Amino acid sequence: MGQDIKLTASDGFQLGAYRADPAGAINGAIVVIQEIFGVNHHIRSICDRLAKEGYVAIAPSIFDRITPNFQSGYSPDEVANARKFVANPDWAAMLRDTQAAIDVAKSAGPVGIIGFCLGGSIAYAAATKLTGLSAAVGYYGGAVVRFADDKPDVPTQLHFGEKDAGIPLTDVETIKTKRPEVEVFIYPGAQHGFHCDERASYDKASSDIAWPRSLDFFAKHLKR
């Protein structure tokens, strides 16, 4: 359904991206921000699902500055290798590349952003720092708690797993306390990555609740 495209960031850097377009009427656009595993099969499938809902979906390859075209699976060795990208993350560069995707997406109408894992943190940061967005959704973003003093400029919704080994519930409570205007959902028994059906931690019951919530949120806030 989708195609590979190129984006140009404000500093002139060119990065790759995956774009999926609806077959019929367009309801707006959603920028999809990857996990640490690149714009892989899972992220592309998210874009394709959003396109079927009527959204132009663009997933920028935010690791292209380090390793162009990086994609990974979810085996223990692949997970260990992918972690190198977040040992010392360049948030400013990733946000520049995210802004490049937003700027292209705007021609389709109101723009939302959704991110997973690292992308969940970027989606939150984008809601506080970037321009051109109308709504933001983040799934299990571990760094959101670090950014929670920054207030989102657009309606924001966050999803966390109760049993996420990397995001303690105390962090989630801190976010809820600091940002009462943000919708925060916790999924009982769910682990990190619960929405990804290619991971061992996939939790179908939680995913089947979280995804419609996300779509309803976008439908509400991405109105022309």
* Full-model pTM: 0.98
- The yes-or-no answer on residue 47 being catalytic is no
Checking if the pLDDT of 1 tops 90, the result is no
Mean predicted confidence (pLDDT) in 142-166: 98
- Structure tokens, 224: 């022309």
The CATH number of whichever domain residue 197 belongs to comes to 3.40.50.1820
Q: What is the mean pLDDT of residues 36-64?
A: 98
Beta bridge partners of 28: 55
Total domain count, the chain:
1
At 7, phi and psi to the nearest 5?
-120, 155
- pLDDT in the model for residue 181: 98
Question: What local confidence, expressed as pLDDT, does residue 141 receive?
Answer: 98
How much is the pLDDT for 142?
97
Mean pLDDT score across all residues of the chain: 97
Chain segment 93-121, per-residue pLDDT in tens: 999 999 999 999 999 999 999 999 999 99
Residue 223 scores a pLDDT above 90:
no
Radius of gyration of the chain (CA): 16
Distances (CA, A) of 108 to 2, 79, 131, 185, 224: 16, 35, 15, 29, 10
Catalytic option among 97, 117, 196, 221 = 117
Average pLDDT over residues 190-216: 97
| Model pLDDT, residue 224 | 74
Q: Residue range 215-219: average pLDDT?
A: 98
Query: Is-contact 123 101, C-beta < 8 A?
Result: no
pLDDT tens column, 8-30: 999 999 999 999 999 999 999 99
Q: Which of 103, 164, 171, 203 is catalytic?
A: 164
195: annotated active-site residue: no
Q: Can you give the residue range of the structural domain that contains 69?
A: 2-221
User: Which is the catalytic residue, given 192, 195, 196, 221?
Assistant: 192
Using CA atoms, how far residue 39 sits from 43, 44, 58, 116, 209, in Å, is: 5, 6, 10, 11, 24
Summarize pLDDT for 78-93 with one digit per residue, the tens.
999 999 998 899 999 9
> In the annotation, is 164 catalytic?
yes
